[in-house]
Amino acid sequence: MLSQEDTELLTRIGPGTAMGELMRQYWHPVAYPWELEPDGQPQRIRILGEDLLAWRDTNGTPAFTQARCPHRGASLYFGRNEDGGIRCAYHGWKFDPSGACVDMPNEREESNFKHKVKITAYRGADFGGLVWIYMGPHQSGPPGIPQFEWGLVPEEQRSHYRKVVYECNWMQALEGEMDSTHVYFLHSRLRREDTPKYGTFHTSLSAQFHLRDAEFGMTYAAERLEEDGNTYWRTTHFLFPAYGMFPGAENSIPLSIYVPIDDEHTLHMGIRWSPSQPVAGSRWPTPELSDEPGILIEGMGPMKPEQKGRYFAKWWPEASPETDFLMDLDVKKTKNATGIPSVRLQDSAVLWSMGPIMDRTLEHLCTTDSAIIKVRRKLLAAARQLREDGTPPPGVEHPELYNVRSCNVSLPPGANWEEELADWHYARTKEYPRSATGERSAPAHTRR
Ligand code: FES
Ligand SMILES: [Fe+2]
């Protein structure tokens, strides 16, 4: 249980809030490079409660500027992106990526008024197949972008396989990532002998948690006994401020990103990568359902038609409360736990069902919720510390800390998971950890 006061502090990210200030210390990924063409149509986005336009100027520089024109308040969305700036459709005022007003055609030539007008503009950058925004106080000298391994490997070794708007608070979504025991319940198939394409399966629904502080946030290992007497370990990292790196189904590492759109919406993106080989599947989200009911798809399923007038207009999923998340009752009866057509949609169904901002005064956390509790404490402490004395939160000044990996592996009884997995976790080897059976791959029961 969390007090109402702490829940507010933890979840609210608008300008001026403590968590909002913490979030503004970091870079956040918000778009794919191909969504923003040089001189192309600006895109509506909302990040940390601020309505912005995302666009690229003629030179390809990513730009993030306030959505409304400072003249008479028209939306610059209807403006023209041309010759190094965005020009308002109403009277033609023009702004460059730094927010400077570079033309004011409805003023007399001798007027210097344009030099007095500036719009809010935030730094943008491309890295790792994503466009990032930095909304913090150091616009002229921002910190480094987190050096995730997927940003450093060749393009074919990573897959950007999910992008979607979640209709719930960012912390609720992140907490789902810290919750290892739901994996073999929510995402489970009904019968072990069925294809793993219907879902996960493990006889041990509970797990023992081992939590470790890390400079980037926290690592935890969930320990389960295998039927052959070995021990199955799933390791997950929480990286400040809103990344969950959980164990992959194949020999690739998945990362979930939760960028707060506002207090009640979250931009969720998913990436998988391999340190050593091309990853299978699509490079970009492929929003299709499987022809065969029960076979889980990788992403978020079909998107609604472009939601004109809304932020992130192309990324609102069909699977939503109005459609009961495309739940197939026959599949639910015969194949898997929910009948919902992807692992991530199963997650989003339960997360949305908690309400926009879950009332944590009503919850009853148990021992296997220890990772959730620890992540909350870390975020609250870092936000308070930043507010009290300006201490930069974890990771901001050390982008190299983000070069880590998670894994799932079966080890012999008594093995020390931290020592056995350290070289893999800290990217000192490209070889997947060797399991108790000698294999260098994730255990078969985790594969789909
Ligand atoms: S409202 Fe934009 S130029 Fe007048
Ligand atoms: Fe899940």
Q: Which residues line ligand 1 (CB under 6 A)?
A: 69, 71-72, 74, 88, 90-93
Mean pLDDT calculated for residue range 225-241: 93
| CA dist., res. 67 & res. 39, Å (int) | 17
Which residue among 106, 134, 162 closes a domain? 134
Task: Give backbone dihedrals phi and psi of 376, rounded to 5 degrees, phi first.
Answer: -55, -45
Give residue 445's pLDDT.
66
pLDDT in tens, 328-349: 999 999 999 999 999 999 999 9
pLDDT in tens, 235-248: 999 999 999 999 88
Task: Give backbone dihedrals phi and psi of 2, rounded to 5 degrees, phi first.
Answer: -125, 140
What total number of domains does the chain contain? 2
Q: 277 with 411, same domain?
A: yes
pLDDT band at 291 (very low <50, low <70, confident <90, very high): confident
Mean pLDDT of all residues in the chain? 94
* CATH code of 316's domain: 3.90.380.10
> Is pLDDT of 358 > 50?
yes
| CA dist., res. 364 & res. 355, Å (int) | 17
- Closest ligand (CA of 73): 1
Q: 171 with 118, same domain?
A: no
The better pLDDT of the pair 206, 26 is held by 26
**Is residue 301 within 8 Å of residue 326, measured between CB atoms?**
yes
pLDDT in tens, 87-102: 999 999 999 999 999 9
Residue nearest to atom 4 of ligand 1 (CA): 91
> Is pLDDT of 447 > 60?
no
Give residue 389's pLDDT.
97
Give residue 228's pLDDT.
87
72 CA closest ligand 1 atom index: 1
Q: 285 with 392, same domain?
A: yes
> Is pLDDT of 154 > 60?
yes
Give residue 448's pLDDT.
47
Probe ligand 1: pick from 65, 68, 72, max atoms within 8 Å of CB? 72
Q: 210 with 261, same domain?
A: yes
> Is pLDDT of 362 > 70?
yes
Q: Within a domain: residue 144? A: no
Mean pLDDT calculated for residue range 355-380: 95
How many whole angstroms from 245 Cα to the centroid of ligand 1? Answer: 44
Q: 313 with 399, same domain?
A: yes
Q: 100 with 230, same domain?
A: no
Residues with CB under 5 A from ligand 2 (ion): 347
Residue nearest to atom 1 of ligand 1 (CA): 72
Q: Which residues of 352-366 are buried (b: 16+ CB within 10 A; e: fewer)?
A: bebeebbebeeeeee
Q: Within a domain: residue 17? A: no
Q: Within a domain: residue 1? A: no
How many whole angstroms from 72 Cα to the centroid of ligand 1? Answer: 5
Q: 130 with 82, same domain?
A: yes
- Closest ligand (CA of 185): 2
**pTM over the 0.75 mark:** yes
Q: Within a domain: residue 19? A: no
Mean pLDDT calculated for residue range 289-295: 89
- Closest ligand (CA of 88): 1
Mean pLDDT calculated for residue range 150-172: 95
How many whole angstroms from 349 Cα to the centroid of ligand 2? Answer: 10
Q: 206 with 308, same domain?
A: yes
Q: 196 with 288, same domain?
A: yes
DSSP-assigned letter for residue 388:
H
| CA dist., res. 285 & res. 305, Å (int) | 15
How many whole angstroms from 348 Cα to the centroid of ligand 2? Answer: 8
Probe ligand 1: pick from 93, 107, 119, max atoms within 8 Å of CB? 93
Mean pLDDT calculated for residue range 349-372: 94
Q: 88 with 229, same domain?
A: no
Give residue 436's pLDDT.
83
Q: Within a domain: residue 101? A: yes
Mean pLDDT calculated for residue range 294-300: 90
> Is pLDDT of 41 > 50?
yes
Q: 295 with 167, same domain?
A: yes
Give residue 207's pLDDT.
84
Q: Within a domain: residue 143? A: no
Which residue among 108, 134, 160 closes a domain? 134
Per DSSP, the three-state class of 128 is coil
> Is pLDDT of 200 > 60?
yes
* CATH code of 44's domain: 2.102.10.10
pLDDT in tens, 405-436: 999 999 999 999 999 999 999 999 999 998 88
Which residue among 107, 134, 161 closes a domain? 134
Q: 384 with 257, same domain?
A: yes
Q: Within a domain: residue 231? A: yes
How many whole angstroms from 408 Cα to the centroid of ligand 2? Answer: 15
Give residue 109's pLDDT.
86
Is the peptide bond between 241 and the residue preceding it cis, with omega within 30 degrees of 0?
yes
DSSP-assigned letter for residue 333:
H
How many whole angstroms from 347 Cα to the centroid of ligand 2? Answer: 5
Q: Within a domain: residue 239? A: yes
Cα angle, residue 28 at apex, residues 186 and 431 outer, rounded to 5°: 65
Adjacent-strand bridge partners of 351 = none
Domain range enclosing 429: 149-446
74 CA closest ligand 1 atom index: 1
